[in-house]
Amino acid sequence: MSDSEPIDADSQYETSFTKEMKFGFSNYAKYVISDRAIPDARDGLKPVHRRILWAMNQIGLGPRSPFKKCARIFGEVTGKYHPHAGGVYESLVRLAQDWSLRYPLVQPQGNFGSIDGLPPAAMRYTEARLNRISLELMENISERVVEFIDNFDGEEREPTVLPVKIPHLLLNGSYGIAVGISSNIPPHHLNELMSACIAIIDDPQISVDDLMTHVTAPDFPTGGTIIGLSGIRSLYLTGRGSMRIRSKIHLETNETHKVSPSRLVVTEIPYLQNKATIITQISKLIDDNSLRGVMDVRDLSKEDIRIEIDIDEQYADDLGVKTILGQLYKKTNLDTLFHSRMTAFVYGRPMTLTLKKALAVFLDFRETTIRNITQEELDKVAARIHILEGLIIASDHIDAVIALIRASESRSAAHTNLKDKYALSDIQAKAVLDMTLARLARVEQTALVDELETKNADKARLMMILHDRPTLLELMRNEFEDIKKKHSDKRRTNLVEMDDVLTSSERPILHRRNLLITSTGEGYLRALDYTKFKTQGRGGRGVIGVPLGTDEKLFDMMIASNMDDLLLITHNGIIHLIPAYEIPEAKSRTNKGKTIKRFLPVEGSIVKVVNIEHDQFVKEKVLVTITKNGVIKRTTLDKYANIRRTGIKCLNLRGEDEVVDAFVTDGNSFIFIASKKGQAVVFDETKARAMGRVAGGVRGMRLRVGDEVVSSFAIPKDQLDQTSILTVTERGYGKRTILTKYRFTNRGVRGVINMKIREKNGDVVISMPMPIVAGSSNISLVNSDGVLIKVRVKGIRNMGRSTMGVRVMRIVGDQKLLMATSIVDENVEILEQAEIDLEDPIDDGEEDEFEVLEDSNDIEEAE
């Protein structure tokens, strides 16, 4: 319209500006909230993401199909379902980024951007297809299962929600800012969510605190560490909460590096943080001299994140490292706050959801979806049963039916005649007329009867699901268990249960060093730098290494990293937890250490110290405990994730039995148990099922009167043919025997000869695994006078089982060898070759003593 043209008076009207703004902005706000920014609580998706997945499904882009250009996907989405072209490609890219989504829904091919903030390539260069987990969001989708609506031009149909089998709202989380409302939902671990859903099915009245035993914390795709529980608990109780996320950093040293032998290495960063921005922040601090002790920073990331921060040697001690970390956490995005608000649409209304409410909405929707799927299947089965009944009637009167059809003047007449004579419906009569001549065979007639029986059974099963809710809930439960197995993976984000952010840098970052940990009968626990001991040849006398009182026992001696957690297990089956670095290091070899009661309220003797990597209490690993009487118990490590300061029970002992050994396995290893009188048994650890924390265990080895278990360990299945068994006795004799010379048996047997026991060599003290090619492995042995010797293993040759071995440590007078442990040293210094025993080892042949223990003799207690 030109300026000179008059305005039509009929198109003009007077109105309130306030009224028009209120009306227009309300509509705009409603549109932005419901159609753009806030996800649906049922499937956890915004409309654009739902339309992308639906369009890809419609053009057959499954996990096994060839990739298609993103431009093709973009055209399908914008042309049929989503008219707002501006954000479609960006949304598709985010669905494929493994640093944005905990479980990416799209498989990318090409440049889809980076965690440095670099943009993706143009859509004409990139390709994509659905990821495997996306199938769990769209299986059984149809207009009878979920609601469908017309698309924007009325030519296509699209779902308003996907029939998801997983609580996707919490799985991948969501982020969006609308008008007057926002949502920021963190991602979570799939197995934990599925376990929580099962827990709600089992107990609908379950509390949020109990749910948090399943869903411990968010699980971010970039890993990191969450500091403190209070923010997480607030989030799960109220739907709102904040949590601090820290990068994972460790200290590395390289003595050959002339400029900076020590460096901090960042391997994980907080969620939604730009790696390039973090490096820029650190570089600027270095340039401004605002970061004391830091010399340089560089990005060596490839597939995984690796940021190296060189530090001045003056700051390479514990205090200096803590100071640098404090500055980095305060001044850079290596430490951030994640503010969360779990807002989503619940049946058309925006709501802030608690953890239980979010899961309950999903479970309610899944139950409705299963009912719809079942009803659809039931209708199909009923329709087929109806047709089969008609076909069987015709089959039973086949000659008369053929005659009737031949006598009919037309198909419609035959249709009418069949209905009238045999009381068939229109559908049945049509099916009879459509029967081929081949269906007249007797075999085909029998097949119709068999199919009818099968369909009737299917109908009864489907009816049971629809009309018996416990059956439906059991179906859901099994579905969730299957999903856990299918998509199982490990948590990426750790949780530190401390709210004091200033003092919690997870753990002090130290130079990784090997410590010799000893536990004695008088309750002393000691850590000593293992490099204080020099290696000698076998047969030597050693040096004072473990000061012992008169007749004092040495319960355990082992090598652990100062970065490990130590499980301290008492003779009466109580387990305590202490970080290795918290044990004060002895200044010299003659220092006894500190009594354990200065650290923990321990009741009983610490008979075993087990080292595990920090925060690795996972279900995939198993703690195995062995008693003096040969009882074995396996319990997954996750059962010990929350050990109280006063300890928790790990084994229910019988009579005067007591714990003698414990170790951690991968859950699929072989167990070797050695007895004092020279017997040994080797069996698959799965022969002893995993039990609860306070169960009593089952028999692992049958013992003769006067015999007892002295040691045990696990051997991974992939190392069976690479392992030899090193056994030492109380008179200082030892030998190595290739593991394959031992017969693998069931648990609960006496086993085979491990070593010939005579007065000359004495009872067995310990057996331990060693590589067949010993390399730089060495062992440390301690006698009853506290004298320790460190010996190269390759000086102890492999020989048969039924031998007495050779002298490894010279034992004189009333001395006895008490304990031995092993380690692989990278740099071993041989001081001298001490005198050795030149006797040939005694070999009495390979006699086996093998006796199966019947299952009726197992000593197993209920959990």
Low-confidence ranges of the chain (pLDDT < 70): 1-13, 19-20, 22-36, 178-180, 255-260, 319, 438-443, 498-512, 532-545, 550-551, 584, 598-599, 615, 774-776, 823-863
HSE-up of 24 (CA within 13 Å, CB side)? Answer: 6
User: Could you confirm whether 236 is annotated as catalytic?
Assistant: no
Q: Buried (b) or exposed (e) across 737-758, using 16+ Cβ within 10 A?
A: bbbeebeebebbbbbbbbbbbe
Rounded Cα distance between 646 and 606, Å, is: 14
Burial 447-483 (b: 16+ CB within 10 A, else e): ebeeebeebeebbeebeebeeeeeebbeebeebbeeb
Identify the burial level of 27 via C-beta atoms within 10 angstroms of its C-beta, where 0-12 means exposed, 13-18 middle and 19 or more buried.
exposed
Give the domains, in start order, of the chain with CATH numbers. 26-185 (3.90.199.10), 248-333 (3.30.1360.40), 514-839 (2.120.10.90)
Sheet holding 594-595, edge to edge: 554-561, 514-520, 524-529, 594-595
d(CA 420, CA 518): 95
Q: How far is CA 478 from the centre of its chain?
A: 20
* 527 Ramachandran zone, left/alpha/beta (phi>0; psi -120 to 50): beta
State residue 443's pLDDT score.
55
Query: Among residues 382, 389, 611, 626, which one has the least CA distance to residue 517?
Result: 611
Give the distance from CA 255 to its chain's centroid. 36
Q: How many residues does the chain have?
A: 863
The H-or-E segment that residue 415 falls in is: helix 411-422
Scanning the structure block, which residue is given the tokens 């086993």?
751
Residue 613, SS3 per DSSP = coil
Q: What is the pLDDT of residue 180?
A: 63
Per DSSP, 741 falls in state G
The DSSP code sequence of 195-210 is HHHHHHHH-TT--HHH
Q: Which member of 125, 236, 315, 524 is catalytic?
A: 125
Give the per-residue pLDDT at 737: 94
DSSP annotation of 166: S
Q: Distance between CA atoms of 821 and 609, rounded to whole angstroms?
A: 12
pLDDT of residue 592: 75
Residue with tokens 């290893």: 669
The rounded distance, in Å, linking the Cα atoms of 140 and 831 is 73
Residue 403 has a CB neighbour count (10 Å cut-off) of 11
Distance CA(420)–CA(425), nearest Å, equals: 9
According to the model, what pLDDT value does residue 538 have? 60
pLDDT at 323: 76
CA-nearest of 516, 519, 505, 512 to 585 is 516
- Full DSSP string of 445-494: HHHHHHHHHHHHHHHHHHHHHHH-HHHHHHHHHHHHHHHHHHT------E
Q: Residue 763: count other Cβ atoms within 10 Å of its Cβ.
A: 18
- Cite the DSSP H helix spans in 511-606: none
Q: At what angle do helices 190-202 and 469-486 cross, to 10 degrees?
A: 160
Which pair of structure tokens corresponds to residue 35? 């159609």
Q: What is the pLDDT of residue 841?
A: 43
Q: What is the pTM of this model?
A: 0.58
Residue given tokens 């195995």 in the structure block: 624
* Whole-number Cα distances in Å, 664 to 567, 582, 647, 700, 846: 10, 21, 18, 16, 31
Strand partners of residue 764: 729
**Which residues, at least 6 apart from 774, have a Cβ–Cβ distance to it below 8 Å?**
736, 792, 793, 794, 796
The residue to which tokens 């060189």 are assigned: 310
At 9 the pLDDT is 56
Provide the β-strand partners of residue 725: 737, 769
∠ CA 382-384-385, rounded to 5°: 65
CA–CA gap between residue 106 and residue 98 (Å, rounded) = 10
DSSP 239: S
